[in-house]
Structure 1
């Protein structure tokens, strides 16, 4: 069955991602928590207090059951349907403020009627925006997308700009990436295409992040830069609590609370009416948290 095929592949990818991050960090290892609920089960894997990584989580779940009224209204599903959902989600919060936060998610959703779709994406949230690194990051994502469809990157990049946005702050969460949802996987051709695409993204995720982490993990930083890191983490928390679809779906489907909130940073802060110094890297970063920046062709 398709759902078992996808779930098995995603579970294997979860383990591969954890192994790659453990090797790159060189100190901490992931702890595995296998949980079971009435709706299904999952493996929550968490790494803390590493050499480069302060906190990383790589979640896998496979859940299902009757579609609730809230899910039906949110997803426009007919009454009487059952659902199956499986996916991987990951978040990495680094120790060094010169290393970015990253997030990845791939997921598959199937209804008892036979309708199915895929979603997912990868995005980058630097505490300090480095144009060269943002350009390289987007080039890597475009290369993966182009292997499957040259329309993917431009379409999914715009989708990410719109999705990873805090309207109450009028700023993007970071430098974006790609995001997609409800990509039809009902027929065999589309299923094969998007199943392979989501696997390719999950495989690329640790490679891309480890390269960025390795470049910056030993850079010196000041207490002021560390404080800025906690402020930017605060913005991350705001997005996840107010707008993140995965958080909302997890809560509405009676998912496991501890796993749902693993994306939160270990420490965040909010300073009233914070204003960066003129000409500072903090001010420059805020000026670059905008939609529709063509990062691949951006100049330093």
Structure 2
């Protein structure tokens, strides 16, 4: 059964694996390391790429933090019989220059408390500036293949969870084309702790394959000034979700995590226009029509 030291070590490996692969796919950008310590216990390594060939800003953050649970954390986690915690994970967000390349996010994480409780969580979702059904199908098919190796119910369950989680209620639209999301996975009669950990690692290893594909296929496509403006608007939606609804952002701030690493998910530039409405029949309008829950992308 994997212990917290083993999990931490493997998550560190996943961070380096992703950084190496994305540097090769981008062809120019390099991830600069920034090591940090958490005064209450633990720390992490944030690696950020800026101004690459295709990527404008990309962050791959590893953290392993521990210490006393404050009242805000206990309330957030709805526990009263735990005093200390350990949490480790890898979180990734990539913002491309080219509006034909999607934004992508992934997070894999592990949490345990001194009362013996533990769980795995994570998720990966794709946020295209322009929704291309074939790209969404490729993305979801890759996720389904990995899910099916561990539990044939995972994909449908976790896809719905992602549709519900990566949703902007005040806009009544999904953040993108979804993906999978899961939380509080614990061992039971069908899943050992080892299998849950293996699933987490398999998702981490899948990330580079998926995003390298999009960088290669779409990174050199020409784009117009109007398409770039639309990209800025869609980035604004991304910011709204991360600052208002994202649980990882809230947990990081509640646990006194490192602010720069928590907010690395934000793009360098985003825009908001008052009551912006795309032209009827445009690709922008069609994208908004496809930002809905429950779309079955896998044929």
TM-score (norm 1): 0.97
**Alpha-carbon deviation of 1:80?**
4.3
**Displacement after TM superposition at 1:190 (Å):** 2.5
Q: What's the counterpart of residue 6 of structure 2?
A: 5
- Number of the residue aligned with 1:267: 269
Matched residue, 1:34: 35
SS at match of 1:121: strand
Equivalent residue for 2:25?
24
* Residues 1:174 and 1:189: Cα distance change in structure 2 (over 3 Å): closer
Task: Give the distance between the partners of 2:24 and 2:95, measured in 1 at CA.
Answer: 16
Q: 1:209 matched to which residue of 2?
A: 211
SS at match of 1:19: helix
Alignment of 1:101-250 (within 5 A): 101-185=103-187, 190-250=192-252
1:61 paired residue number: 63
Per the alignment, in what secondary structure is the counterpart of residue 147 of structure 1?
Answer: helix
Deviation at 1:187, TM superposition (A): 9.3
Which shows bigger deviation, 188-197 or 264-273?
188-197
Q: Deviations over 1:174-208 (max 9, x none)?
A: 00000000111489953101100000000001110
1:218-268, CA deviations, whole angstroms, 9 ceiling, x for partnerless residues? Answer: 111000000000000000000000000000000000000000000000100
Q: Secondary structure at the match of 1:6?
A: helix
C-alpha distance 187-145 of structure 1, shift in aligned 2 (>3 A): same
* Structure 1 position 167, deviation (Å): 0.3
Q: Is the 8 A contact 1:117 1:186 kept in 2?
A: no
Unaligned runs of 5+ in 2: none
Aligned pair count reads: 297
C-alpha deviations, 1:104-152, integer Å up to 9, x for none?
A: 0000001112211000011000000000110111000000100100010
- Name the TM-score, length of structure 2 as normaliser: 0.97
> Is the Cα contact below 8 Å between 2:233 and 2:270 reproduced in 1?
yes
Unaligned runs of 5+ in 1: none
Alpha-carbon spacing, 1:282–1:140, altered in 2? closer, same or farther (3 Å): same
Residue 115 of structure 1 contacts residue 186 of structure 1 at CA under 8 Å; is this kept in 2?
no
